[in-house]
Homo-oligomer: A and B are copies of this chain.
């Protein structure tokens, strides 16, 4: 069996081997005991225990000095390699000892990433300066699967309800506004009344805006005709708007700078009746769940402030 191999050695601790190495390094029990902060007696006990466990007498105890036996020298080489390995593991552990295991893996849906991630990153750096961030963009479904499988720790998405095993926190509410060509009459007179949406032939919303089959709040209230679609990206919507003169609902923050050199216009909708909510999601069972909750709250607070 895989474990039977070293079952005999199981009772050895790293400390035990450090003691053996110390006796070798110091050339005697007394100085080694002092260096390791242990009594000579305890040291003698532990070294004998190691020798008993290995079945090898490592040290020959002379009248005035201690020297390793031939077999002991071989064991000491192994012990040295062993302790080197332990030190390596210690260093690796140190790097991983910080919050989130030293690395926070964040997934974000494509329509949120561009405007939110810079804030999340700077917030994370304030939060834990040494934290390494691993970012990933994608669609809600893929990110959700990766979150469930433990490939990422935090997902920022627009889907209001998710896996039962996830905890979530609302990060921000993002209103929609109307994207139209600059020559469209809608673009002329500033903010428009929600009622005017009802008469428009709007392009379908992207799945990233409302990833599941949920209708957006206020959309029906506004009387819009919603065409469902999947994967209609912002970029595609922009092309359709600019080439065919359609009007289109787009997330306001995502498209804040999307005027394409004056050829397009973003029209605010009064009272913001349509919009989407953006959530942070994480596994309830994650060891970082509490910290993730605090971080999400900080993001939320930050996004409400200027």
Interface set of A (CB-CB < 8 Å, partner B): 3, 5-6, 8-15, 18, 22, 35-36, 54-57, 60-63, 67, 69-72, 74-75, 78-79, 81-83, 85-94, 96-97, 101-103, 105, 150, 153, 165, 283, 285-288
Q: How far is the CB of A48 from chain B (nearest CB, A)?
A: 11
Chain B residue numbers with a CB within 8 Å of A97 are 54-56
Contact status of A62 and B6, CB under 8 A, knowing A74-B92, A93-B55, A97-B54: no
Task: Check B87 against A56 for contact (C-beta < 8 Å).
Answer: no
Closest B residue to A101 by beta carbon equals B71
Contact of A60 with B286 at beta-carbon distance under 8 Å, contacts A96-B75, A101-B69, A105-B70 already known: yes
- Offer 28 A-B interface pairs, CB within 8 angstroms, sorted by A: A3-B18, A3-B36, A5-B87, A5-B90, A6-B89, A9-B14, A9-B86, A9-B89, A10-B15, A11-B15, A12-B86, A54-B89, A55-B94, A56-B97, A57-B288, A60-B285, A61-B285, A62-B285, A63-B165, A63-B285, A69-B150, A69-B287, A71-B102, A74-B92, A75-B92, A78-B85, A82-B82, A82-B85
Bound CA span A286–B60, Å: 6
* Partner pick for A6 among B36, B83, B283, B288, CB 8 A cutoff: B83
- Asked whether, in the complex, the Cβ of A70 is within 8 Å of the Cβ of B9, the reply is no
Closest chain B CB from A124 CB (angstroms)? 16
From B75, B101, B285, A56 is in contact (CB under 8 Å) with B101
* Bound-complex Cα distance A74 to B93 (A): 9
What residues on B are CB-neighbors of A70 within 8 Å? 101, 103, 105, 150, 153
Chain B proximity of A67: nearest CB distance (Å): 5
User: Which of the residues B8, B9, B287 comes within 8 Å of A57, measured between beta carbons?
Assistant: B287
Q: Are A93 and B105 in contact (CB under 8 A)?
A: no
When distances are taken between beta carbons in the complex, the residues of chain B under 8 Å from A288 are 57
CB-based nearest B residue for A7: B18
Query: Which residues in B have their C-beta under 8 angstroms from that of A74?
Result: 92, 96
Contact A90 B285 (CB under 8 A): no
Q: How far is the CA of A97 from the CA of B74 in the complex (A)?
A: 12
Report the nearest B residue to A93, measured CB to CB.
B54
Q: Chain B residues near A285 (CB, 8 Å)? A: 60-63
**CB-nearest residue of chain B relative to A134?**
B70
A61 CA to B60 CA in the complex, in Å? 48
Contacts of A3 in B (CB 8 A): 18, 22, 35-36
In the complex, A285 Cα to B61 Cα: how many Å? 6
Smallest CB separation, A22 vs chain B (Å): 7
In the bound complex, residues from chain B placing their C-beta under 8 Å from that of A286 are: 60
